[in-house]
A and B are shown apart, each in its own frame.
Chain A
Amino acid sequence: MAVLTESRKASLRRELEAIVGAGAVLADPDELLVYESDGLTLLRALADFVVFPVSAEQVSALVRLANRESLPFVARGAGTGLSGGCLPAEGGLVISLMRMNRVLEVDYDNQLAVVEPGLVNLHLSWTVGARGYYYAPDPSSQQACTLGGNIANNSGGPHTLKYGVTTNHVLGLEVVLPDGEIVWLGGRTRARAGYDLVGVFVGSEGTFGIATKIVVRLLRKPPAVKTVLAVFDAIDHASAAVSAIIARGLVPAAVEMIDQLTIQAVEDAFGCGYPRDAAAALLVELDGLPFGMEAQAARIVQACRDAGAREVRTARDEAERQLLWKGRKSAFGAYGRISPAYMVMDGVIPRTKLPYVLRRVNEIVAAHGLRVGNVFHAGDGNLHPNILYDPRRPGEEARVVAAGAAIMRLCAEVGGSISGEHGIGLEKSDFMPLIFSAADLALMQRLKRAFNPTGLCNPGKIFPTSKSCAEVGPVASRPHAIEEKGLAQRF
């Protein structure tokens, strides 16, 4: 990437300011630092400019300018991504959508909302909550992450076990294509003339353009909810309980697993009522009609007991339920208190392989001389091993990366995937050949060319670097060198 001269930079800055206004362009190195990484602070890169448009027309003008100058550009939401997805190429534009954060329209009768991409996920559910509706996909980062980021990463959450991930809830998108044209994909109805471009755009990690309006489905809040905590003295038993629940034909809204290290961290930090000596706990939530809820809960309890649970209890009231969920959702924050840094993995495996894979994950991390906490969406087999480390200790980061690679290989070996919800981004791009053939990747490249022929829109993501095509190498070989800095706590 050619480096911009100072005079070129100054004139570009004036042009950018003409598009978005003087207060909406950052170019000072100090200010740009804030945008050099996302939730995965192992990887960093500096943009030339960060800009804050307020309309699709502004986004389009920015993209056209970038094209004219052959400058790479990348959309950025809240920057909570965990795969380096919104990192700029070295130089270029970061287009932040944070000022486009309005709920434009709520149509309760037709159960949909039209929102801007910078809207924070949870704020949508707050907006429609009073009328008894909510937006179902609930990433654990929902207090901060944006709908635009969710679209790009096809984000999930605990309740996606029953309700599906982001893609199952998006009806239409207004998109600024990589050449600057503004188009609608899909709309408010279920209609589609032609290919499912909404389905293809969701999960494209910001490489197909920038979403500027999003039409999402709203759901009625379930009339009844029941939350069960099952406590186990062995991880294997907890894993077996997950299979047992599924095998009995039960479809809970969520089945989350939390292991001992995580329980202890959470209890130290927040005191959420998990037994500190448990090897693992399952948080199982049922929702739906009040009728039959007791009967279903009884079956869940029985399945857990049969699998060897030492204690199974139901949250007595909403306060206790919230506390249990707080423990689950604040696990990442709790790790921050017991370790200077941690790396979140995101593999997926067939559910029946859970006992074996969890055992192997723990062995792998121990063999690398590190500690791991597991807190994850067990119901759909989406693992989140969190490898704890201290970046100041020489060599430790390299071991984290090696352990992470081994875990991805393990997931691929058992027929799984290397990412369930965090995306490939920069972090895992070199691991794509673990699960996709050269022909698979070539077809994806062709699809990318149809949207993004110049490649200026979010370059360097998803696809393996040409070096690594033959052989899967570690992340450390990327141009974005792993640097000696711990993960900053976000919230």
Chain B
Amino acid sequence: MQDALLDGLRGVVGPANVRTGIELGPWVVEGRTPDAAVFPASTEEVAGVVALAAEADVPVVPWGGGTAAAVGSPAARTGLVLGLSRMSRLVEHEPGDLTATVEAGITVAALQAALAGRGQWLSLDPPDAERATLGGVLAADASGPRRHLYGTARDLLIGVAVVTAEGAFVRGGGKVVKNVAGYDLPKLFIGSYGTLGVVVEATLRLRPLPEAERLVGVSFDRLKDAGAAVRALLASDLIPNAVELLDGAAAAALGAGVAPGAALVVGFDGLEEQVAWQCEELARLCAPLGGREARALPPETWPRLAPAARAALGLPAATMTLTVLPMQVAETMEQGANAARARGFVTAWAAHAGVGVVSAALAAEPAPPGPLAAVLAEWREMAHAGGGQATLEWAPLAVKAQVPVWDDPGAAGRLMQGIKRELDPRNILNPGRFVAGI
């Protein structure tokens, strides 16, 4: 990196907020060390950094908590890490409006703690809440088990402020919960992995904290039966806030309290009497389908649900997310496990079953890269066969070289490339990491 650029960056954010050389360890991704890491403290500084980078034609990699930094196709060029950790304020919280505006670098945990103090919460529960920042959660469209009832970032983000690839400050959406003025820019930035702009501020709709919440685990000898229980649950009058299906390995990773076997883990919230009644109903509904006793699980179980498949295998060789129709979840898990087993692989599976989002992990031992890629390709085929998709969430570079990270978006890919060209004509925002070569 040219010294002139570094000097310029130091001028914008102050010398103490530019890291270089051996200080860059925390921002190494897939063996690649960035040219520098800079930490602006304001929107103006972010704009200044982006403008300098654009001028020097150096890629900018927006960085929140780094929890999803390794997701994506391998980067072709190194660039500048633009860390948002110094922009972490809760800008505004008006409980009466059920909305809050935050800077992008606030962690999910910090935000939830502040909101809880006033009886509210952001109904989004991505993994790694202590590290994950709001900006990163939006960019990666991260979510957790409660998405079953409360949806994902796209259902909660009502306004966004970004610094564009040219260093301009742009707002989309607004501060009110209902708003159709202009295009829905908040949607554009959700799940865009930092390729369209640097999110610096977000306005979110909130909910009152429920009076009671409980998580119940029901164990089954066969995953298939647990799948049947999901079907019965979704067709019932119950209103769960989470419907998680786990194979034996993933269920064991949830910790004490979960009986051996596959597990259906269901959350309920609301008034105490509603929660209690629904827990009983769930047990009644599962019993004839082979569900063994329904046990209340401790609240610490919640954050372990989404990463359960990965956690079950310690350091897995690869993880993949398959998105299928809700009724295909159990079958996908069984078929996927069988396909891997046939090639000698141990796997673990966990799903947000009610919305059809399945996480699969492959054990590292034994794992020569060849067959590993074959299993992943087979999984992807499975998802496609049912009209779904697959994303290679994490894998070593050797595997990424053989299995694409993203699905081919088909004809829509041309539109996406067009949007990227319009918003980032010089291709400096996280280039090459995303779908369709974006």
Which of B95, B190, B356 is close to A189, meaning CB atoms less than 8 Å apart? B356
- Return chain B residues, CB-CB under 8 Å to A350: 94, 96-97, 99, 175-176
Q: Is the CB of A154 within 8 A of B436?
A: no
Q: Is the CB of B271 within 8 A of A295?
A: yes
Among A108, A183, A189, A448, chain B packs the most CB atoms within 10 A around the CB of A189
- Return chain B residues, CB-CB under 8 Å to A421: 178, 180
Nearest to A377 among chain B residues (CB) is B178
Q: Is the CB of A185 within 8 A of B412?
A: yes
Q: Is the CB of A440 within 8 A of B171?
A: yes
Chain A contributes a number of interface residues (CB within 8 A of B) equal to 86
Of A55-63, A160-168, A259-267, A392-400, the stretch lying at the interface with chain B is: A160-168
Task: Give B389 Cβ to nearest chain A Cβ, in Å.
Answer: 4
Q: Is the CB of B97 within 8 A of A193?
A: no
Residues of A whose CB lies within 8 Å of any CB of B are 107-111, 153-154, 156, 160, 164-165, 167-168, 177, 181-185, 187-197, 199-200, 202-204, 220, 223, 243, 246-247, 249-251, 288-289, 291-292, 295-296, 348-352, 377, 380-382, 415-424, 428, 432, 435-437, 439-444, 446-451, 462
Given A432-B182, A446-B422, A191:B323 Cβ within 8 A:
yes
What CA separation (Å) do A182 and B412 show in the bound complex? 10
B169 at the interface (CB under 8 A from A): yes
Q: Is the CB of B181 within 8 A of A432?
A: yes
Nearest to A203 among chain B residues (CB) is B184
Q: Is the CB of B169 within 8 A of A439?
A: yes
Q: Is the CB of A444 within 8 A of B416?
A: no
Nearest to A348 among chain B residues (CB) is B176
What CA separation (Å) do A447 and B422 show in the bound complex? 7
Which of A111, A168, A197, A223 is close to B326, meaning CB atoms less than 8 Å apart? A111
Task: Give A375 Cβ to nearest chain B Cβ, in Å.
Answer: 16
Which of A423, A424, A446 is close to B423, meaning CB atoms less than 8 Å apart? A446
Q: Which 5 A-B pairs have the closest CB atoms?
A: A199-B187, A191-B323, A249-B208, A191-B389, A450-B418
Q: Is the CB of A189 within 8 A of B182?
A: no
Of B1-9, B20-28, B52-60, B402-410, the stretch lying at the interface with chain A is: B402-410
- Return chain A residues, CB-CB under 8 Å to B96: 243, 246-247, 350-352
Interface string of B337-360 (1 = CB under 8 A from A): 000000000000000000111000
Classify chain B's interface size: 35 or more
Q: Is the CB of B208 within 8 A of A443?
A: no
What CA separation (Å) do A170 and B236 show in the bound complex? 23
Which of A160, A195, A204, A352 is close to B419, meaning CB atoms less than 8 Å apart? A195
Which of A167, A193, A296 is close to B184, meaning CB atoms less than 8 Å apart? A167
What CA separation (Å) do A243 and B434 show in the bound complex? 43
What CA separation (Å) do A338 and B296 show in the bound complex? 60
Q: Is the CB of A291 within 8 A of B207?
A: no
Q: Is the CB of A194 within 8 A of B409?
A: yes
Q: Is the CB of B188 within 8 A of A200?
A: yes
Nearest to B423 among chain A residues (CB) is A446
- Return chain B residues, CB-CB under 8 Å to A109: 231, 234-235, 326-327
B110 at the interface (CB under 8 A from A): no
Q: Is the CB of B326 within 8 A of A440?
A: no
Among B182, B207, B422, chain A packs the most CB atoms within 10 A around the CB of B182
Which of A111, A247, A417 is close to B181, meaning CB atoms less than 8 Å apart? A417
- Return chain A residues, CB-CB under 8 Å to B406: 193-194
Interface string of B286-328 (1 = CB under 8 A from A): 0000000000000000000000000000000000000111110
What CA separation (Å) do A475 and B171 show in the bound complex? 25
Interface positions of B from 167 to 185, Cβ below 8 Å from A: 168-172, 174-185
- Return chain A residues, CB-CB under 8 Å to B181: 417-419, 424, 428, 432, 435-436
Task: Give A180 Cβ to nearest chain B Cβ, in Å.
Answer: 12
- Return chain A residues, CB-CB under 8 Å to B432: none
Task: Give B258 Cβ to nearest chain A Cβ, in Å.
Answer: 26
Given A189-B387, A193-B407, A439:B168 Cβ within 8 A:
yes
Interface positions of B from 374 to 423, Cβ below 8 Å from A: 383, 386-389, 391, 406-413, 415-416, 418-419, 421-423
Task: Give B271 Cβ to nearest chain A Cβ, in Å.
Answer: 4
Sample of 14 A–B contacts (CB below 8 Å): A168-B151, A191-B407, A196-B154, A295-B271, A348-B176, A349-B176, A381-B97, A415-B174, A416-B175, A440-B171, A442-B170, A446-B422, A447-B423, A450-B415
Q: Is the CB of A220 within 8 A of B237?
A: yes
B130 at the interface (CB under 8 A from A): no
Q: Is the CB of B325 within 8 A of A110?
A: yes
What CA separation (Å) do A203 and B383 show in the bound complex? 30
